[in-house]
Structure 1
Amino acid sequence: MSTKISTTKYALSLHTTTPELGLAISNFSGDIRSQVWNLGRDLSSLIHQYLMEFIKPQTWADLSFIAVAKGPGGFTGTRIGVVTARTLGQQLAIPVFAISTLAAVAWSQASKSQNTKTLAIEMPGQRGKIFAAIYQFIPDTSALTALLPDTVMTPEIWQETLANWNTDYQLIQAKSDLAATVTSILELAQLDWQQGKCPHWSEALPYYGQHPVEI
């Protein structure tokens, strides 16, 4: 089953796993725009205001689905983004796609070339741990497959994992400008949408990976 967005219909994505707010909107027919703001601690109080301004001249009724970065990332920011996306999805009765932060980084790198490649993504976590994942990009099908799903581990175990990996890979460190991958969040969600996936807003859950405090 294939689902297509009418050229008059749009999709919106949010990225809040860092102190930056990333928003993107597109009808996937040439009309796309995105923007990033460094809101810091004001993210929770300003996100709705920025959303209201950003979506213009489109309206909420123009949206077919919403996509959101589900983490890993900062606990508070990730929660704010997912809760906002779920609320919008519930109010508008449209699907909400929760997309991995690491998958978005992989997609933003992989889509720059037309070669099949394996990408190892690492991102600093808390208390000396790192978030890690390994993805494979296949350009012929525009597919991004998780060979090692998002996980949290010590740097030593990650290095051992890479040392024992049986194929060549490109190592990518996800440290900054993550909100700029909000367009990748949107594109990955659209790939799922085209395959007929239609996740209920209640299925959009954050991936924290770690508890915010030591337990």
Structure 2
Amino acid sequence: MSRWLLALHSSSETLGLAVCDAENPAGGTRILSRSMGRQLTNGLISAVEELLPRAEWASIGRLAVSTGPGGFTGTRLTVVMARTLAQQLGCPLHGESSFALMAPRLSVALPASQALEPFSIVQTLPRRGRVAGRYRLLSGSIPVEELERPRLLSEDEDPSPALSMELDVASDVQHLLQRCCHWEQEAAPGPWELVLPIYPTSPVGPV
């Protein structure tokens, strides 16, 4: 009987899902990447069922979810689903920011002399300022360290070096599943209560 590892990512208009057998992760990874937009509210569960039939959900052994930053509703939906599954199944859950997931991919744009130095990933929000997180590449099975989780920058902050946020949900959810495999190999604890969405700005404006 398979024991599944499941990764979920919906910090943008695109839903990303990835699953593999914990006992044989190299035996095949199934990935779904689909533009959902507002259809995510009603389509999330059916999309997960498409990748992993509901009859197999009881065999989920570990979950990982992108915690944002990103769209308020999309991020909340997958985080809530992942927390609910982890609580009901009694399995570990891990959260990783969407910026941390893309950091190894974006870091190839850094000059070789800065490859191991801290860098920022920055996203400009229409009418709301800029959000940034700080990262450093590592060697070995953990590719990146999040030095500072994404937050809203003040007007006078200008982090350097800085890379612009670029979406590639299919790649990033696959990376999230790889991280989930690493946590599985390490038998890392994953208390679901600690996994919360990142909201650098209020969804209702200034408060």
Aligned counterpart for 2:7 among listed residues 5, 8, 13: 13
Give the Å deviation of 1:143.
4.0
- Secondary structure class of the residue paired with 2:58: helix
How many residue pairs end up in the alignment?
A: 200
Matched residue, 2:179: 188
- Secondary structure class of the residue paired with 1:71: coil
The within-5 A match list for 1:40-51 is: 40-51=37-48
Give the Å deviation of 1:77.
0.8
Aligned counterpart for 2:28 among listed residues 31, 56, 68: 31
Give the Å deviation of 1:57.
9.9
For residues 82 and 124 of structure 1, the distance between their equivalents in structure 2, rounded to whole angstroms, comes to 23
Q: 1:127 to 1:179 in 2, by over 3 A?
A: farther
> Is the CA contact 2:64–2:176 (under 8 Å) kept in the aligned structure 1?
yes
Give the Å deviation of 1:116.
4.1
Does the alignment pair 1:144 with 2:144?
A: yes
Q: Which amino acid aligns with 1:34?
A: I
The within-5 A match list for 1:63-78 is: 63-78=60-75
> Is the CA contact 1:36–1:180 (under 8 Å) kept in the aligned structure 2?
no
The within-5 A match list for 1:130-209 is: 130-154=130-154, 156-157=156-157, 159=158, 161-162=159-160, 169=161, 171-178=162-169, 180-209=171-200
Q: 1:155 to 1:80 in 2, by over 3 A?
A: same
For residues 88-108 of structure 1, the C-alpha deviation after alignment (integer angstroms, 9 at most, x for no partner) is: 112222111111111001133
- Secondary structure class of the residue paired with 2:27: coil
Give the Å deviation of 1:146.
1.9
> Is the CA contact 1:110–1:117 (under 8 Å) kept in the aligned structure 2?
no
For residues 36 and 8 of structure 1, the distance between their equivalents in structure 2, rounded to whole angstroms, comes to 23
For residues 146-194 of structure 1, the C-alpha deviation after alignment (integer angstroms, 9 at most, x for no partner) is: 233322114641x2x32xxxxxx5x432143346411122223333343
Q: Which amino acid aligns with 1:135?
A: Y
Q: 1:34 to 1:155 in 2, by over 3 A?
A: farther
For residues 133 and 12 of structure 1, the distance between their equivalents in structure 2, rounded to whole angstroms, comes to 25
Matched residue, 1:106: 103
Q: Which amino acid aligns with 1:186?
A: L
CA RMSD of aligned residues (A): 2.9
The TM-score normalised by the length of structure 2 is 0.83
Does the alignment pair 1:79 with 2:76?
A: yes
Unaligned runs of 5+ in 2: 110-114
Q: Which amino acid aligns with 1:188?
A: R
Q: 1:151 to 1:195 in 2, by over 3 A?
A: farther
Q: 1:26 to 1:17 in 2, by over 3 A?
A: same
- Secondary structure class of the residue paired with 2:67: strand
- Secondary structure class of the residue paired with 2:199: coil
Give the Å deviation of 1:38.
0.7
Matched residue, 1:166: none
Q: Which amino acid aligns with 1:19?
A: E
